Amino acid sequence: MKIYIDGVFYPESEAKVSVFDHGLLYGDGIFEGIRFYNGRVFRLTEHLERLWDSAKAIALKMPLTFAELEAATLETIRQNGLRDGYIRLVVTRGKGNLGLSPDRCPKACVIIIADKIQLYPEEKYQQGMVMVTCATRRAAPAALLPAVKSLNYLNNVMAKVEATHAGADEGLMLNEQGYVAECTGDNIFVIKKGAVTTPPVYAGALGGITRDVVFEICEELGIPIREREMTRYDVYTADECFLTGTAAEVIAAIELDTRPIGDGKPGAITQRVIEKFRKLTSETGTVIYG
């Protein structure tokens, strides 16, 4: 495997960053997870735009232009000879000192990894996910902006620990007001009487790229979809439920807190969305080998 770090491709065994990098010391940085299928990168422009927005929100100066980063991302895939896989694009504040101030970091560090990924076992895509509600709340916007895809993921990690200890596949996170925000790494959608509902981003959800694609799919399929504040009651009483994320793609959730959702199986509308999503990923995207 070859990994891109600040303009150079290194073998995995030689890919290193400084122990004084503020991404390591303070979680001070941003990232994107990006999928590529059949020799095409899915929604690359949208992912890079979100990365730029995250950088602006945390006052991080990008060391590359948009076009340069796009080219570096594609070249990283080529260097590894892949046609299907996952990109982890990381931008840290860069090397500084042991002090907190980002002013001591003269230049941001860019890391690009291209590899294979499978977030959940294949049987989960057939049978659906089991969820539990986590006691750990989603960080409030006044504390840590949920719209920023930052390296500070401890909030999500601790919720994931709770879900794992409870024997569940995924954890549902609420905001401080008790409304549904998202899962530990995925956006959540419920279906009731043929209509799809998902929490608004201001409730604490990350504005997911796959989430946006679902809105497009529902519009194309003629399925009503809306954003609305949700409680666990809306999930408990839903006919169907599914989760979305770049790594997870689209996957059904069939239980929350021991309560079956619908008939406890992936539903018909969920299956239609998954089918359309997979068609999009196989046929569209930025060409890698052109």
Active site residue 149: yes
CA angle 212, 90, 180 (to 5 degrees): 40
Q: Is 245 helix (H, G, I), strand (E, B) or coil?
A: strand
Q: Which residues, in sequence order, are CB contacts of 23 under 8 Å at separation 6+?
A: 17, 29, 90, 92, 93, 94, 109, 151
Q: Give the type of residue at 231.
A: T
Q: Kindly give the residue spans of alpha helices, DSSP state H, lying in the chain.
A: 22-26, 44-57, 66-79, 122-127, 154-165, 209-221, 232-236, 268-283
> Tokens in use for 116?
């294979």
CA nearest neighbour of 190 among 143, 228, 155: 228
CA distance 63 to 95: 13
Does residue 155 contact residue 125 with C-beta atoms inside 8 Å? Answer: no
Q: Which residues, in sequence order, are CB contacts of 164 under 8 Å at separation 6+?
A: none
> Tokens in use for 277?
């999503």
Catalytic residue (one of 2, 124, 149, 276)? 149
CA nearest neighbour of 60 among 114, 21, 33, 34: 21
Q: Which residues participate in catalysis according to the annotation?
A: 149
